[in-house]
Structure 1
Amino acid sequence: MSEHPRGTLRVTVDKETGVAVVVLHRPERLNAIDLTMVAELRENWRQFRFDDAVRAVVLTGAGERAFSTGIDRDAVVPQPSSPYMQDDPLLAVGPKANDLWKPVVAAVAGMACGGAFYLLGESEFVVADTTAAFFDPHTAYGMVSAYESVLMAQRMPYGEVARMVLMGNAERMGAQRAYEIGLVSELVEPGRAVEAAVRCASVLAGYPAAAVQGTVRALWAAGEAGRAQGWAQAPHLVALGNLPGERQAELFAGRGRGEPRIR
């Protein structure tokens, strides 16, 4: 087994089982994704394409509080003035965006929200422990949930994803509800999500790699047309619907008011 600290990532590869475990490692920031992590994730996925010792991947977050809380609010991403163009760094963070077709199993404990759905949406399935909670705060901050909504609409019933992305900070989908609707495929005791995900990934890594990767590619292809159409609209919707940055910051500053309902 080899370990490779990569800045904001901790990567462990077990060459006997063929399973790599990738840990988002910014626990002090609830594993929020900054521009450094974007670059490191992209490099990591692309390296895995050429590493035949890696046949399946488990993706998780450091600590017990969060899988990831999405884009780091301190990340500065300049935007063009045209509504036809948007720079979204999270479009590059997932394995599929980087042409990796080895299976990825997400292991979730604690919060998974907002931009975390770029990663969950490009994982084959999700294992979670009972502390997991899923929500999308965009609307509460005067922002359009566009790409996240498109990805989650292919993982959840329409009414469930609509409620999650529209209710914003007011409520969170608990682990049990996420399991009931199929967003989570297996629910385990606190602290056991990575163990359960590795168990599944080890099975996948033991099968003929070409057959597994071809199946992953076929599954992704099944939803490509819908994603492409949804994402084509996303830049315009974001440009039209987002409040100015100063107003978003004001709303974000009041984020601690009231406790969200867990359902």
Structure 2
Amino acid sequence: MGARVSTVRVDADKDSGVAVVTLDRPHRLNAVDLEMVRELAGVWRALRFDDSVRAVVLTGSGERAFCTGIDRGVAVPQPSSPYMQDDPLLRIGPKANGLWKPVVAAVCGMACGGAFYLLGESEFVVADPAAEFFDPHTTYGMVSAYESVLMAARMPYGEAARMMLMGTAERISARRAHEIGLVSEVTEPGGALAAAVRCAAVIAGYPAEGVQGTVRALWAAKEAALAQAFTQAPHLIALGNLPAERQAELFTGRRREFRLR
């Protein structure tokens, strides 16, 4: 069984109880536009009511990227007040949409910036050896706020700080991501999706009530800290972000070389 909307593909296997949700904008490195925001929210909410799906795998289309965050071609109007910042990416994750079925992320290629909203709301991450993780915000004169909070909840503080502050100059390899706990498994080349599906199928074979209760308990262990930190994010972004035109200049003039560690 499968369904596709313009930016997201959903393939559900009724026998295994696993649905694979694929970000499907490979021509834009699976960057998130406003249509994908709406469609992802709709997918997560629909999965809440589909009892035949007991576990989910989240991945990206193509080999170049899992997701590269917000599409820079998307204009998101912002209120002038720092108390009313509007971040559409806050609506793209499974937890943000009330889905307490387990989500396993399968990462191939780049995962950066706004991709961390999705990885931060997944139960665990399986990665291809070619996966790379980085956050470009500081390079372009932007505050990494929500991304930093989510990754600091999943990684040692020093590793999260280094990734966020080094910007585009450095990327974390799949190997290093595994060493620091961001990734739970590094597979053979091309094997991340299959490995994630295998894990999801095992989980889907257990009684759903116990699994979903465990997911909720795991999230409860960190949601209070996340909520408190998230209240600071809009003000930090409003205070620290350079004007959009200056960000665009920095983006245009960015250096392409980086260190992979």
When the two structures are superposed, what TM-score results if normalisation uses the length of structure 2? 0.99
- Equivalent residue of 2:175, what SS? helix
Alignment coverage as a number of residue pairs:
261
- Number of the residue aligned with 2:241: 242
Aligned to 1:138: 137
* 1:106 maps onto 2:105 in alignment: yes
Partner of 1:71: 70
Corresponding residue of 2:208: 209
**For the residues of structure 2 that align with 1:6 and 1:244, how far apart are their CA atoms?**
34
Give distance in 1, aligned partners of 2:54 and 2:129: 28
> What is the CA distance between 1:83 and its match in structure 2?
1.2
Q: 1:232 to 1:199 in 2, by over 3 A?
A: same
Match of 2:224 in 1: 225
Residues in 2 aligned to 1:136 and 1:203: alpha-carbon distance in whole angstroms: 32
Cα RMSD of the aligned pairs, angstroms, is: 0.5
Q: Does 1:261 align with 2:259?
A: yes
Q: Whole-Å Cα distance in 2 between the matches of residues 239 and 227 of structure 1? A: 19
How many angstroms does 1:259 deviate by? 0.7
Matched residue SS, 1:222: helix
Measured in 2, the distance between the counterparts of 1:241 and 1:193 equals 37
Which stretches of structure 1, 4 residues or more, deviate above 6 A after TM superposition? Answer: none
SS at the partner of 2:125?
strand
Say if 1:239 and 1:211 are closer, same or farther in 2 by CA, change over 3 A: same
Deviation, 1:155, is: 0.4
SS at match of 1:97: helix
Q: Secondary structure at the match of 1:237?
A: helix
Map Cα deviations across residues 228-262 of structure 1 (whole Å, 9 max, x no partner): 1110000000000000000000011123x241100
What does the per-residue CA deviation read over 1:166-189, in whole Å, with 9 as the maximum and x for residues that have no partner?
Answer: 000000000000000110000011
SS in 1 for 2:121: coil
Give the aligned partner of residue 117 of structure 2: 118
Paired residues of 1:171 and 1:262 also in contact (CA < 8 A):
yes
3-state SS in 2 of match to 1:101: coil
Mapped to 2, the partners of 1:218 and 1:258 lie a distance apart of: 42
Q: What letter is aligned with 2:167?
A: G
Does 1:171 pair with 2:156? no
After TM superposition, give the deviation of residue 224 of structure 1 in Å.
Answer: 1.0
2:62 aligned counterpart, secondary structure: coil
Give the structure 1 partner of residue 7 of structure 2. Answer: 8
Contact 1:141 1:252 in 2 (8 A): yes
The equivalent residue for 1:156 is 155
CA-to-aligned-CA distance 1:135-194 (integer Å, 9 cap, x gap): 000000000000000000110000000000000000000000000011000001121100
Q: CA deviation at 1:56?
A: 0.2
SS at match of 1:239: helix
Aligned residue for 2:73, secondary structure, equals coil
The unaligned stretches of length 5 or more in structure 2 are none
Spell out, residue by residue over 1:79-119, the C-alpha distance to the aligned partner (whole angstroms, 9 max, x if none): 00011121000000000000000000000000000000000
Aligned partners of 1:107 and 1:126 also within 8 Å: yes
Q: Is the 8 A contact 1:154 1:223 kept in 2?
A: yes
The SS at the match of 2:186 is strand
- 2-side partners of 1:190 and 1:93: how far apart? 28
**Deviation digits for residues 44-102 of structure 1 (CA, Å, limit 9, x no counterpart):** 00000000011000000000000000000011100000111210000000000000000
SS in 1 for 2:76: coil
CA distance in 2, matches of 1:141, 1:214: 41
The gaps in structure 1 that reach 5 residues or longer are: none
- Look up the SS of the partner of 2:82 in the other structure: coil
TM-score, normalized by length of structure 1? Answer: 0.98
- Counterpart of 2:257, as a letter, is E
Once residues 19 and 225 of structure 1 are traced to their aligned partners in structure 2, the CA distance between those partners, rounded to angstroms, is 29
One-letter identity of the residue aligned with 2:36:
M
Contact 1:109 1:190 in 2 (8 A): no
Is the 8 Å Cα contact of residues 4 and 10 (structure 1) preserved in structure 2?
Answer: yes
Percent of residue pairs identical: 75
